[in-house]
Chains A and B, each alone.
Chain A
């Protein structure tokens, strides 16, 4: 599994999982996928981060139907004292960081167990 494949698989299973259950499912899924990946010594943090980052932004935008002037988005930006773009970026970062560190956790777990 190369980085691109890892990125795509994590993206798809996180998406399906979180749609059926909820956001937290992406953590165990990323750990498992990180554990299962065969990459010998390369870092998977980066593809995992981008997978989560893009997924969270994409789902968020999908939910507001790509309407950047959406009233709930405006209201929450105001509530949190941000602008809309920053809020979208923050949500992407949360998704990215969760995916990145969870995948790495799974990845190093395997290394520790195998050694």
Chain B
């Protein structure tokens, strides 16, 4: 063979091989190496093209007037526009420029389209999302939004802003995650904004314990059920206190419903509930309690702590609007924030708005069922999934009058269809989008209330304060009107009378304005006392609310700093209440010297879940062991989950029922009592604690329960680990990784308003940006940014780090 030909073939072969190696995916989870590593368009380019180093001077035909976007030192955009359409166009553009991939993925997650870009690993997640009816009900939400002509224009403008950015985006500047996953951004649309609202509703109110409660009820008597799972634990502090004047509810509406709880046992749901930990605090104090004589409002929603951060901070200035606060990328407006006259914040309402119905099929073939002696057929829908690197997959979904069949449960009585009735899936009663925008625009309490009446889903506790010194709390949203215990248990889907279709009228929702005690507060506890004229059911927290009220009741001359400290308070009443029973038992017990020293350590604790303390570790170990021992009766078996009483109920049980049969450990022949359990749990704790200390001599709370803020793709290189901070889900500083305070805001309603805020992560969603996680350290230390709230553009009070100027 010719030598040159041989050399040609060798060189050509190596070249082809190199290109192949660089272009082919080595496995499903890695992108082609060349795409990501090459210096021209790989990750290097993301560093160069990062959005905050751009100077933009653009002409956009969509605008009617000039818009200026001035970024302050925290990379918060202050958007100055002449009218609201231009303003929301620029907000959409800004959101997209910093959070495009996050928005895109969240819209995909809410519409069950993740597997189009992530492949088969997300097929089940997608199927669940669509079976739950998320994409269908997002359509209904959108329809409602589009009924309002003004709102439609705002929504369209926002969407145009996002798309303007997408069209401008060079492929070299694509957010790094697109390069890693190998797909490209999809056009935004008003429908996707509706999906974002659904996403938040799912996070906040798609939680239920119907199966657990149903199975537990078959084990114990009704009276025990009432004792262990009562919603009104003694000593609670309802958001709207007992004794509030409900005379505004002249004629409560009647509920003709009739629940038929099932008697059967049910298997575990094929998916998990949102974990315990979603919660929030908000409160406001009246001028007479504060040092400067101004009302102060505080709000800190506890949500998933992720990178990119869930919130995006912005300041929107336009005709009739001057609102500052956090927004959800994908939605126009400010969700939690303030304007020149008022401030507002939200916490989640614990009402149960999700019910399961067990549907008995007439024959083997799924699809026919009997309601009130009538044969009904399900509506059938076929969902199509275009799975990446796979063939198209189809999924048949049956929908009953009670809701979609999310899954089939095999139980002792055969195959049952599990129909999910979720209030957030029903045709909306109000227009949430316009409600939020009108709150942004509201100048006083009456305008705020008018705006709020339109608000529908998810139900929230709205705190309010204004520069006139008014403070208020509204438990608001569409809340189902219940008959006794309706919604606690899985119901038989065989009568129209058990449909969840009666709701408390929005003007009858619980509320209070300027109470005598001088403060309003909420921390996901029970909404009202029993004197509220409507029954409701739900899952509520206890300790944060009680503690918050105790603190606020004893405060005078309140300053902004006091409020910041309170938001970061790691003390919890949970250990303080629990140890009241536990410590005396240990005190009187025969303890080995080693046990005695751990006991002394625990006794010296001030109930703060501080990052550098060791006592929270001891307590956590002790409580978990004790809790498992006391409720061993509710361990459940063969995938049939049972409900365990809450912490608050457990503590009440310990102090009020010292001879309860639940203290006996079923597995052992002896009959244990409370002291035996405490002692056993404590001895095991000492053993484990000593072992752990041998591994790590300076074992403290933060090392034991690390706080991590992970990237949405769980890529360690894009995540922040071992954040140095304390907290507990039962403390006001509700850190319970991966959940925690996702935006701490304190607003003093002075003239002009002074405001402070911080969230973990950063404004930019780009891992190459210094604004990607620049706030985390400050957030962990309990520090705040002073928020720049300039009224006119001529008197900014800060040096813009970047200016975008958009001309019509």
Interface residues of A (CB under 8 A from B): 18-19, 22-24, 27, 56-57, 59-60, 62-65, 70-73, 75-76, 78-79, 90-91, 94-95, 97-98, 101-102, 104-105, 107-109, 111-112, 115
Instruction: Give 1 or 0 for each of B16-47: 1 = CB within 8 Å of chain A CB.
Output: 00110010000000000110111111111111
For A43, give the chain B residue with the smallest CB separation: B7
**Contact between A71 and B769, CB atoms less than 8 A apart:** yes
B772 on interface, CB distance cutoff 8 Å:
yes
For B8, give the chain A residue with the smallest CB separation: A108
Interface of B is mostly: helix
**Which residues does chain A contribute within 8 Å of B8, judged by CB atoms?**
105, 108-109, 111-112
B61 on interface, CB distance cutoff 8 Å:
no
Known: A71-B769, A98-B15. A64 touches B4 (CB 8 A): no
Known: A108-B11, A112-B5. A98 touches B18 (CB 8 A): yes
Beyond A76-B36, A105-B12, 7 additional pairs, beta carbon < 8 A: A56-B39, A59-B44, A63-B44, A71-B47, A71-B772, A72-B44, A111-B8
**Contact between B715 and A79, CB atoms less than 8 A apart:** yes
Select one of A24, A72, A97 contacting B46, CB under 8 A.
A72
Interface of A is mostly: helix
Instruction: Pick 25 A–B contacts, CB within 8 A, sort by A.
Output: A18-B40, A22-B40, A22-B171, A23-B39, A59-B44, A60-B39, A62-B48, A63-B44, A70-B47, A71-B769, A72-B47, A73-B44, A76-B717, A79-B716, A90-B37, A95-B39, A97-B14, A101-B14, A104-B7, A104-B11, A105-B11, A108-B4, A112-B2, A112-B4, A112-B5
B768 on interface, CB distance cutoff 8 Å:
yes
**Which residues does chain A contribute within 8 Å of B46, judged by CB atoms?**
72
Select one of A63, A91, A95, A107 contacting B47, CB under 8 A.
A63
**Contact between A75 and B767, CB atoms less than 8 A apart:** yes
B661 on interface, CB distance cutoff 8 Å:
no
Complex CA distance for A115 and B176, rounded to whole angstroms: 48
**Which residues does chain B contribute within 8 Å of A75, judged by CB atoms?**
717-718, 767-768
Q: Give the distance to chain A from B350, nearest Cβ to Cβ, in Å.
A: 39
Q: Which of B11, B47, B171, B769: most chain A Cβ within 10 A?
A: B11
**Which residues does chain A contribute within 8 Å of B176, judged by CB atoms?**
72
**Contact between B718 and A59, CB atoms less than 8 A apart:** no
Q: Give the distance to chain A from B644, nearest Cβ to Cβ, in Å.
A: 40
Complex CA distance for A47 and B171, rounded to whole angstroms: 31
Complex CA distance for A95 and B718, rounded to whole angstroms: 26
**Contact between B44 and A64, CB atoms less than 8 A apart:** yes
Complex CA distance for A23 and B34, rounded to whole angstroms: 8
B556 on interface, CB distance cutoff 8 Å:
no
Q: Give the distance to chain B from A92, nearest Cβ to Cβ, in Å.
A: 9
**Contact between A64 and B38, CB atoms less than 8 A apart:** no
Complex CA distance for A22 and B768, rounded to whole angstroms: 21
Complex CA distance for A102 and B45, rounded to whole angstroms: 24
**Which residues does chain A contribute within 8 Å of B47, judged by CB atoms?**
63-65, 70-73
**Contact between A63 and B48, CB atoms less than 8 A apart:** yes
**Contact between A79 and B717, CB atoms less than 8 A apart:** yes
**Which residues does chain A contribute within 8 Å of B41, judged by CB atoms?**
22-23
**Which residues does chain B contribute within 8 Å of A107, judged by CB atoms?**
11
**What are the 7 A-B residue pairs with the smallest beta carbon separation, nearest first?**
A72-B768, A60-B39, A108-B8, A63-B44, A23-B38, A79-B717, A104-B11
**Contact between A27 and B19, CB atoms less than 8 A apart:** yes
**Contact between B4 and A65, CB atoms less than 8 A apart:** no
For B4, give the chain A residue with the smallest CB separation: A111
**Which residues does chain A contribute within 8 Å of B171, judged by CB atoms?**
22
**Which residues does chain A contribute within 8 Å of B42, judged by CB atoms?**
23, 91
Instruction: Give 1 or 0 for each of B711-753: 1 = CB within 8 Å of chain A CB.
Output: 0000111100000000000000000000000000000000000
**Which residues does chain A contribute within 8 Å of B44, judged by CB atoms?**
59-60, 63-64, 72-73, 91
Complex CA distance for A109 and B4, rounded to whole angstroms: 8
B291 on interface, CB distance cutoff 8 Å:
no
**Contact between B39 and A71, CB atoms less than 8 A apart:** no
**Which residues does chain A contribute within 8 Å of B12, judged by CB atoms?**
105, 109
Complex CA distance for A99 and B716, rounded to whole angstroms: 34
Select one of B18, B33, B770 contacting A101, CB under 8 A.
B18
**Contact between A78 and B48, CB atoms less than 8 A apart:** no
Instruction: Give 1 or 0 for each of B647-680: 1 = CB within 8 Å of chain A CB.
Output: 0000000000000000000000000000000000
**Chain B, 253-302, CB within 8 A of any chain A CB:** none
For B769, give the chain A residue with the smallest CB separation: A71
Q: Which of B36, B40, B46, B767: most chain A Cβ within 10 A?
A: B40
Known: A72-B47, A108-B8. A78 touches B38 (CB 8 A): no
**Which residues does chain B contribute within 8 Å of A24, judged by CB atoms?**
19, 34
Known: A19-B40, A94-B22. A64 touches B7 (CB 8 A): no
**Which residues does chain A contribute within 8 Å of B45, judged by CB atoms?**
63
Complex CA distance for A76 and B44, rounded to whole angstroms: 10
